Structure 1
Amino acid sequence: MGGIDREKVKGSFHRQAKTYDQYARVQKRVVANLLDQVRKEVGTPGRILDVGCGTGKLLAELHRLHPEAQLFGADLALGMCITAGAHLAAGAFVTADAESLPFIDGAFNLVTSTSTYQWLPALDHAFAEARRVLAPGGIFLFALFGERTLFELKDAHYQALKREGEVEDITHRFFPPSRVEAALAGAGFDQWRVESTLEVELHADVPALLKSLKKIGAGNASPRASAGLYGRKRMLAMMDIYQEKYGTTDGIPATYEVIYGAGRCP
């Protein structure tokens, strides 16, 4: 996977905190799916932490499901924490890195996360931190976007590069399921599992897709990437290729690979 500029990620999500919920359609479906897992696998957690809590949507649903639980949210972007705090008075929110959580060992019975870990340069430290803050018998339930996410956009961009005689694609890449599995196994969980599924979102055209991505803060986080998709000429070429290769009568598809994982502490 390519490098990740963490400051770029933090700034982007901070700026888009107010528009995130309006455009995060796939992310909302992921939250709903993770909640189903919580219902099936979690008893009565006393303390819950959501890593990369965003606007607090998952924690708000967890509050409805477990109203007696103490709720904590951590997010790298201050704007997200402010928005989450305004949405959920019952929660405590901190600006923090998933790789360095400001909590004592064994503080939580349940750690959750959705649509967050793909923005990390590696998973090992973050998963080890989730394991560290879980109490014995606690469970870690998460979902992140995998390497096949937005493959149509990446392919169209790469083809536009080739038209200009360039072959190096410096867009960042997300993790494959095998890497997620390895990180979970190495974090010290007693039981763990990983599964992958695809979610497809339809947009009217490529500009509508790009606007949606911008409004949720999901830009190119490669440290070598310049603003946008490298100039108007390349942008127009990319949009033409995308429409020609993947367009349908219903619009253009944007595919997300969602990797769901779980780990239980001994």
Structure 2
Amino acid sequence: MTDAVAALAPDTKSGLPDKRQVAASFSRAASSYDAVAELQRAVGNALIERLPVGLTSARWLDLGCGTGYFSRVLANRFPAAEGVALDIAEGMLRHARPLGGASRFIAGDAECLPLCDASVDLIFSSLALQWCEDFPSVLSEAKRVLRPGGVFAFSSLCSGTLQELRDSWQTVDGFAHVNRFRPIGAYQHYCAASGLRLEQLEVEPEVLHFAELRQLTCELKALGAHNLNPGRPGGLTGRARIRALIDAYERFRTPRGLPATYQVAYGVLRKERK
């Protein structure tokens, strides 16, 4: 990690999407999500691999469970444990419940968890917390509900995600067509101030490739992760602007196709034993 990246100031809690819009968008995407969730599977599996060796859990929380894919992974990993799956999107929970994995499926907000103090041993959250504007509250809630010695493992997106798409739109107009995410410096700052012991925090790029731009934009819509920025342009995008966007994105083409780069932060924190 460069000094320039490490020195980035925390974000100012501005420019992130409204959580009601996030919940509605992901609820609508529940039925299409799993079919296009290649990145989500890869990142979640990488987070599973980062769990501390020998970790045991009598009760775990899948925070931002989505369709419940990793709730079922956690149930297999900790077969004797009680599992709680929580998501802000009711549509995702309706999809996840019949598939099982967790003992309980709860609608809730990561910034205000509907759980008792010191009630879980593991909080697992993969690619959900980038939508939370108040990350210090997420960390405070994690510290509150974890038992002493408990682990909070998360993956999230950083600034620089979908930079190819962002740069291509910049050649077309000045609007924010790509979701904004906080810089890694903000994650570093907030984790250091959380009162939890930071065991891991790193950023790794994940690059997907597409034959044409339409495949990427359709995938983002199917995931519910298309443009949710406040101040995003409304209405339909004209053919001329789409053509200009396609031409601009072609500059990034490689032999494998059009790249879409995601900057993924992985963090593992632990609550100190008293």
Work out whether the TM-score is over 0.5: yes
Q: Which moved more, 1:202-211 or 1:181-190?
A: 181-190
1:1-266 → structure 2 map (5 Å cutoff): 2-38=15-51, 40-88=52-100, 90-161=102-173, 167=174, 169=176, 171-227=178-234, 230-243=237-250, 245-266=251-272
Whichever residue aligns with residue 69 of structure 1, its letter is: A
Change (3 A) 1:42 1:231: farther
Q: Deviations over 1:2-53 (max 9, x none)?
A: 2322222111100011111110111100111111122x43522000001101
Q: Give 5+ residue unaligned stretches, structure 2.
A: 1-13
Whichever residue aligns with residue 267 of structure 2, its letter is: G
Q: Which moved more, 1:199-208 or 1:225-234?
A: 225-234
Whichever residue aligns with residue 239 of structure 1, its letter is: I
Q: Deviations over 1:76-101 (max 9, x none)?
A: 10011111112115431111111111
Q: Which moved more, 1:121-130 or 1:133-142?
A: 121-130
Q: Distance in 1 between matches of 2:64 and 2:101?
A: 18
Q: TM-score, normalised by structure 2?
A: 0.89
Q: TM-score, normalised by structure 1?
A: 0.92
SS at match of 2:208: strand
SS at match of 1:113: strand
What residue in structure 2 maps to residue 164 of structure 1? none
Q: Distance in 2 between matches of 1:192 and 1:234?
A: 46
Change (3 A) 1:204 1:171: closer
Whichever residue aligns with residue 263 of structure 2, its letter is: E
CA contact (8 A) 1:150 1:254 kept: yes
CA contact (8 A) 1:181 1:193 kept: no
CA contact (8 A) 2:71 2:102 kept: no
Task: For residue 229 of structure 1, report the CA deviation from its aligned partner.
Answer: 7.5
Q: Distance in 1 between matches of 2:119 and 2:186?
A: 27
Task: For residue 57 of structure 1, report the CA deviation from its aligned partner.
Answer: 1.0
Task: For residue 226 of structure 1, report the CA deviation from its aligned partner.
Answer: 3.4
Whichever residue aligns with residue 140 of structure 2, its letter is: A
SS at match of 1:19: helix
Task: Please tell me the root mean square deviation across aligned C-alpha atoms, in Å.
Answer: 1.7
Instruction: Tell me the matched-pair count.
Output: 259
Task: For residue 238 of structure 1, report the CA deviation from its aligned partner.
Answer: 1.4
CA contact (8 A) 2:126 2:156 kept: yes
Task: For residue 119 of structure 1, report the CA deviation from its aligned partner.
Answer: 1.0
Q: Deviations over 1:90-127 (max 9, x none)?
A: 43111111111100111100001001111122311111
